[in-house]
Amino acid sequence: MLRPTPAANLHDTMLDFNQLSGFVLIGYNGTLAQWKQYLAIPRLLPDVLKDMHITFDYGQSFTYTSPRIAFSYAQALQPIAPNSLLSLAFNYFPDHDHVVWDVNDVHVWKNDVNGDANRISIQRYHAPPAGLDNDLTALWTQVLQHTHPYDGVAYSEDDTMEIKTAAVPPVSANPSVLYTGFYAKDGNQSQAFMKNKLDQLLKNLKVKEH
C-alpha cells in the first residue's frame, strides 16, 4: 500500500492506512520450488504458517498438515513438480469465541502456466450466523446437503471438467465447519475418471476441527 503524502499529513495518512489494512486479504502463492526456499527461513513466516507442515517429494507425494486439517496425495492424482503452483487463500472467520486470520482454501495447480486449469483444492466453509437472508445461506446449505455442484458429479466449465463434494461426514447434525474437495482437469473426461480422482484426494483427508 502506497500513498505519497507531505510530512504534515503523515499522522492522518497512517491512521487511514491502519484502518484500510484491516480490509485487505493476502494470499500466499508460489511454485513448490519457491515454497521450499521460503519455508526454510522460519523468521520470514507469519505465526499461522509456523504451525503448518508442507512437505513434498517431486514425482512422488505432497502433504499438507495444519492444526485444522491434514491431507496428502500422490503423483497418480496430479503431477508434483518444482513448477507446481501452491496457493494458500486466507480469510477472517470465527473460531469458537474469537475471530482468526487463517487458511480457508488450499489450491495446488499442476503447473504455473497462466490459465492452466488442472488443479486440486480443499476449501473450508463456516456455518453462517442465524438470521441471515436465504441468499447468504444458500451456499452453506448446498455443501451441507450435497446438492449440485457439491454432489460428486462431474460437470463442464470453460472446457474443463470439474468435480467437488463435501469432504467428510459432519460430526454432528448441525456442524459449524465443513470442508470440500475439488478436482479439475482440462478436456472432456468421464464421470468415472473424475470421481476416481476426487476419491484419491479425499482418501487421506483428516478434518481436525468441528
pLDDT (0 to 100) of residue 1: 83
Domain count, the chain: 1
* Domain membership flag for residue 16: no
The grid coordinates listed for 124 are 473450508
Q: pTM of the full predicted structure?
A: 0.87
Indicate the residue type of 121.
S
| 30 close to 38: Cβ distance less than 8 angstroms | yes
Contact 19, 5 (CB under 8 A): no
CB contact at 8 A, 80 and 26: no
Whether residue 169 has pLDDT greater than 80? no
> DSSP strand E in the chain: where?
28-31, 53-57, 61-65, 69-74, 85-95, 98-109, 119-126, 155-157, 160-166, 177-186, 206-207
Return the H-helix or E-strand segment holding 34: helix 32-39
Q: Is residue 195 part of a domain?
A: yes
As a whole-number percent, the residues of the chain with pLDDT over 70 amount to 98
Write down the pLDDT at residue 136.
74
Could you tell me if residue 15 is inside a domain? Answer: no
Residue 102 is assigned to a structural domain of this protein: yes
Flag whether 18 is in a domain.
no
Contact 186, 76 (CB under 8 A): no
Residue 44 lies inside a defined structural domain of this protein: yes
pLDDT-based confidence at 176, cuts 50/70/90? confident
Check residue 180 and report its DSSP letter.
E
**pLDDT at site 133:** 80
pLDDT recorded at residue 171: 64
Mean pLDDT to the nearest integer, 184-206? 95
Average pLDDT over residues 12-40: 91
71 Cβ neighbours under 8 A, 6+ residues apart:
63, 64, 106, 122, 201, 204, 205, 206
Local confidence band at 88 (pLDDT 50, 70, 90 cut-offs): very high
Could you tell me the three cell numbers for 3? Answer: 500513498
Position 23 scores a pLDDT of 81
Residue 129 lies in a domain: yes
Q: What is the pLDDT of residue 22?
A: 78
Q: Is residue 9 part of a domain?
A: no
Mean pLDDT of all residues belonging to the chain: 92
The answer to whether the bond into 149 is cis (omega within 30° of 0) is yes
Print the domain residue range for 49: 25-207
Mean pLDDT calculated for residue range 91-120 = 91
Section 164-175 average pLDDT: 78
